Amino acid sequence: MFLKGKKSYWVEERDFKNNLKLLVKLAKQYSKKIVFLGLTLVDESKVNPLPWDTDKSNNNKSIALYNKIIKTIAVENKLLFIDIYEYFNKIKYKELLEDGDHPNTEGHKLIFEIVKESLIKNKLI
């Protein structure tokens, strides 16, 4: 999320990377089977800016950047990364969003199927 007043992201890239690295470190204490799920795209016409807080906005360029960070951390740690962003980018994803930002019931069903297929393919279930 971009904060217009501060002219910066809510969580800066460096902090996001460090947070993910810490999450991986902590998760590895409990499991060797760690999966990272990519982000979903947004309908920018509905969330750039956010109607309930016009100082904040979401856009797909920023989401792509943060999705790439997640993927990089997953690859560096040899973890499974399920790229929802790329999958949604190939379809009419706006029909799968409730409010322009969050998946609706059909969007969640599709994400479930993508995740299930990937977990089966990678022999995690």
Q: Which domains does the chain have, with CATH numbers?
A: 2-121 (3.40.50.1110)
Q: How many other β-carbons are positioned within 10 Å of the β-carbon of residue 11?
A: 13
Task: Report residue 32's pLDDT band, with 50, 70 and 90 as the boundaries.
Answer: very high
Answer yes or no: pTM beyond 0.85.
yes
Residue 26 is predicted with a pLDDT of 98
Query: Which pLDDT does position 1 carry in this prediction?
Result: 94
Q: What are phi and psi of 57, to 5 degrees?
A: -150, 155
Residue 45, pLDDT score:
97
* Cis bond upstream, residue 103 (ω within 30): no
Rounded-to-integer distance, Cα 20 and Cα 43, Å: 26
Exposure of 92 by Cβ count < 10 A (0-12 exposed, 13-18 middle, 19+ buried)?
exposed
* Helix axes 60-76 and 13-28, enclosed angle (nearest 10): 40
